[in-house]
Amino acid sequence: MTALDLSSPVAVVGTGTMGQGIAQVALVAGHPVRLYDAAPGRAREAAAAIGARLDRLVEKERLTAAGRDAARARLLPVEELTGLADCALVVEAVLERLDVKQELFRALEDVVPDDCLLATNTSSLSVTAIGGALRLPGRFVGLHFFNPAPLLPLVEVVSGSATDVTSATRAYETARAWGKTPVACADTPGFIVNRVARPFYAEAFAVYESQGADPATIDAVLRESGGFRMGPFELTDLIGQDVNESVTHSVWRSFFQDARFTPSLAQRRLVESGRLGRKTGRGWYDHADGAERPEPHTADPAEPPAYVIAEGGLGPASELLALIREAGVEVRERDEDGGTRLVLPGGGKLVLADGRTTAEFRDVVHFDLALDYRGATRIALSHARHTSPAAVAEATGLFQALGKKVSVIGDVPGMIVARTVARIVDLAVEAVARGVATEDDVDTAMRLGVNYPLGPFEWIRRLGRGWAGELLDELHGIDPSGRCAPSLALHQYACAADEREDTP
Closest CA to 444 of 223, 168, 181, 189: 181
Q: Which residues contact 310 (CB under 8 A, 6 or more apart)?
A: 321, 331, 332, 333, 334, 342, 343
Q: How many Å apart are CA 455 and CA 88, to the nearest integer? A: 35
Query: Can you say whether the dihedral through the CA atoms of 257, 438, 145, 61 is positive or negative?
Result: positive
Q: Which residues contact 205 (CB under 8 A, 6 or more apart)?
A: 232, 264, 266, 267
451 catalytic? Reply is no
Q: How many CB atoms lie within 10 A of CB 168?
A: 24
Instruction: Spot the catalytic one: 92, 156, 224, 234.
Output: 156
Instruction: Spot the catalytic one: 194, 225, 250, 382.
Output: 194
Q: How many Å apart are CA 457 and CA 449, to the nearest integer? A: 15
Across the strands, what pairs with 33?
A: 10, 75
Which amino acid, 162? A
Instruction: Give, as one character, the DSSP assignment of residue 350.
Output: E
How does strand 307-311 pair with strand 341-343? antiparallel
The gap between the terminal CA atoms of the chain, to the nearest Å, is 45
Cβ–Cβ under 8 Å, residues 22 and 93: yes
Closest CA to 76 of 113, 108, 117, 48: 48
Q: Dmax over Cα atoms in the chain, in whole Å?
A: 80
User: Mapped to the 3 state alphabet, what secondary structure does 356-423 carry?
Assistant: CCHHHCCCEEEECCCCCCCCCCEEEEECCCCCCHHHHHHHHHHHHHCCCEEEEECCCCCCCHHHHHHH
194 catalytic? Reply is yes
123 catalytic? Reply is yes
Residue 53, classified by CB atoms within 10 Å of its CB into exposed (0-12), middle (13-18) or buried (19+), is middle
Q: Which residues contact 233 (CB under 8 A, 6 or more apart)?
A: 204, 208, 215, 216, 218, 219, 283, 284, 285
Helix, strand, or coil (residue 49): helix
Instruction: Spot the catalytic one: 121, 123, 167, 487.
Output: 123
Cis-peptide, bond into residue 263, ω within 30° of zero:
no
User: Mapped to the 3 state alphabet, what secondary structure does 266-306 carry?
Assistant: HHHHHHHCCCCEHHHCECCCECCCCCCCCCCCCCCCCCCCC
383 catalytic? Reply is no
Q: How many CB atoms lie within 10 A of CB 96?
A: 17
**Upper half-sphere CA count for residue 162 (Cβ side, 13 Å):** 16
Report, as residue numbers or ranges, the catalytic residues. 123, 144, 156, 194
